[in-house]
Amino acid sequence: MPKKPTLFVIGDSTVSAFSDNYYMPRTGWGEGLKYFFDENIRIENLAVSGTSSKSFRSHKNYETFLNGISEGDYLIIGFGHNDEKRGEVTFTDPVGDFRKEGSFSHSLFEGYIKPASDKGLGIVLVTPIVRRDETHSYIGEKVHVTNDGDYAEAIRRLSKDLERELSLSVLVCDLTRETRGLSLKVDTDDEKENNTLFMHARTGKREISCDDTHTNLFGAVVNAYLIAEDIKKAGIPLSLFLKKEYDDPLSKSAYWVKRSVNLDYREPVYESPKELSDFWPPFLDQNKNRWYATVFGDINDGDCRNTKSFSFSGGDGKIHIGSGLDRINGKVTEKSDGIAMYFLRLPADQAFCLKAKVRLDSYNTAKGPADSAAFGLMVRDDIYINEASGELLGDYVSAGIIFNPSHPKGANTFARRSGRLVFEGGELRKAPHEGDELSFCIESTTDGYRAAIEGYSPVSTGYDLKLTAIDPDFIYIGFFAARSVSITVSDIILERT
């Protein structure tokens, strides 16, 4: 019996699968394709959240792709969202043809189209879906036009160049144009459930928690339908594997919206604190930003006001945070967090950039990097004022260092995403010593956050999350220490943009 062909799907978070505990979990269009293709083709979705056409090539899924393809298979490619993000790891230039090294076109051709074409695969390029725009303007970064150029147009141009210069036919499914047109249409129609608000992921039930970048199952199926229709109209060989009949998801919007809701979702019981400080001293920096101090989470004996274990102080533009002064206390682990933090509160939709120098003063009683110790900068979904809890708290992204068995020298940035710790920056080349001082930066991006530590490339892969699942109104940013670390923070710069 002949082997079934495989449809390989490669791309970023708008294409990939997720395992969210959101109210409406994220689902990329790669997961929606199965509703339109028949049982005579196997679909393997290798897309990875946060990757660009450049950074995906360092992921294990790229090796799976290279080793798995063979003649008679097919490939659909969906990159662009992260190629436009400045940074050594992800950025590719939308200007330049497929022969120009460093260009988006070159990355797509050399990394994916050429190896697939050499093996005899049929190839489809997909331009990136638009980001949801409440103003209905759909210009600039919403449609992937940046100061560097137009990423969707780069894909269109690449297809034409390959046809003209190499006689290589690669279909373009122009989701940028199609999702822009669809969004403008449905958001002005009267049918409520066809609104893009119901096609995008939501961390919580409230509309403010809508993720403007990532779709839910309904949105994923709508986008997959658009791709299927383009393939059918083009009549390429891949169209032979489409189902004979399928419905436009917009004609069954109520059904798909219902299926997009996580039935196991439970609304968090949380109140943003009215009083931001009730024990530890606040700190006023040189720009009149007031930072509040708190100890919260999984703390020994539940004593968040233990002055023998924790300390906060400030002066001359510097702040000091000590954790685990008398014994190991606090932690950042898979199951719980116990943190000492100076923080301030910002509106959830406030764009910002926080920079500071952090000096590692001491490993305290641990006498070295202890498992579950951590320090640095953080933006998080929730805050608790001197409140102990062994329960898993909210999600966050940290431009910080954490030590654990998988990263004994320290992880280069980390995050808690849907409750799980993730380490997207790899391990530090060497563990920091007492007295070492490094510059840290954490900032918001169009899709989530970017974290950076001096001497390493900024990390945004995997940090494209919206911190509104617990507190939809505010985010909390600041400086922290956990377990057995004392730090001094200086040269604090907070830009609200």
> Two tokens at 58?
């360092």
User: Does 275 or 123 have the greater pLDDT score?
Assistant: 123
In which residue are the tokens 């230039």 written? 93
Phi-psi region of 64 (alpha: psi -120 to 50; beta: other; left: phi over 0): alpha
pLDDT for residue 14 is more than 90: yes
Q: Give the pLDDT score at 190.
A: 64
pLDDT for residue 366 is more than 80: no
What are the Cα distances from residue 273, in Å, to 201, 280, 292, 398, 466? 27, 15, 12, 22, 20
Domains (ranges, CATH) in the chain?
6-260 (3.40.50.1110), 283-496 (2.60.120.200)
pLDDT for residue 420 is more than 90: no
Strand pairing partners for 360?
487
Q: Decide the pairing of beta strands 474-482 and 290-297.
A: unpaired
Q: How far is 194 from 248, CA to CA, in rounded Å? A: 12
Q: Reading across the β-sheet that carries 6-11, which strands appear in turn? A: 42-45, 6-11, 74-78, 122-126, 171-173
Q: Give the pLDDT score at 41.
A: 98
User: Of 492, 485, 489, which is closest to residue 431 (Cα–Cα)?
Assistant: 485
Q: What is the pLDDT of residues 241-253, one digit of tens each?
A: 999 999 999 999 9
> Two tokens at 281?
């001293």
pLDDT for residue 277 is more than 90: no
pLDDT for residue 338 is more than 80: yes
Mean pLDDT calculated for residue range 162-166: 97
What percent of the chain stands above pLDDT 90? Answer: 78
Q: What's the burial of 103, exposed, middle or buried (CB within 10 Å: 0-12/13-18/19+)?
A: buried
Contact 115, 69 (CB under 8 A): yes
Distance, C-alpha 241 to centroid of its chain: 33
Q: How far is 3 from 400, CA to CA, in rounded Å? A: 48
Q: How confident is the model at residue 409 (pLDDT cuts 50, 70, 90)?
A: very high
Q: Give the pLDDT score at 207.
A: 81
Q: How far is 267 from 407, CA to CA, in rounded Å? A: 34
Q: What is the pLDDT of residues 85-119, one digit of tens each?
A: 877 778 999 999 999 999 999 999 999 999 999 99
Predicted structure pTM score:
0.74
pLDDT for residue 355 is more than 80: yes
Q: How far is 32 from 53, CA to CA, in rounded Å? A: 21
Mean pLDDT calculated for residue range 63-90: 92
DSSP string, 189-256: SS-GGGSGGGTEEESSSSGGGEEEEEE-HHHHHHHHHHHHHHHHHHT-GGGGGB-S----GGGGHHHH
Mean pLDDT calculated for residue range 305-330: 92
Tell me which H or E stretch contains 373. none
pLDDT for residue 19 is more than 90: no
Q: How far is 443 from 148, CA to CA, in rounded Å? A: 20
- CB atoms < 10 A from the CB of 211, how many? 25
pLDDT for residue 328 is more than 90: no
Mean pLDDT calculated for residue range 319-338: 89
pLDDT for residue 359 is more than 90: yes
164-172: which pairs have CB atoms within 8 A and are 24 or more residues apart? 168/113, 168/117, 169/236, 170/113, 170/123, 170/124, 170/125, 171/123, 171/124, 171/125, 171/230, 171/231, 171/234, 171/236, 172/124, 172/125, 172/126, 172/127
Contact 296, 482 (CB under 8 A): no
Q: Decide the pairing of beta strands 352-362 and 374-380.
A: unpaired
Supply the mean pLDDT for the chain: 93
DSSP string, 111-138: IIIHHHHHTT-EEEEEPPPPPP-TTS--
Q: How confident is the model at residue 1 (pLDDT cuts 50, 70, 90)?
A: low
Q: Give the pLDDT score at 86.
A: 73
Tell me which H or E stretch contains 332. strand 331-332
Q: How far is 151 from 145, CA to CA, in rounded Å? A: 6
Q: What's the burial of 243, exposed, middle or buried (CB within 10 Å: 0-12/13-18/19+)?
A: exposed
Residue 245's identity, in one-letter code, is: E
Q: What is the pLDDT of residues 183-216, one digit of tens each?
A: 999 887 666 667 899 999 998 887 878 889 999 9
Mean pLDDT calculated for residue range 67-75: 97
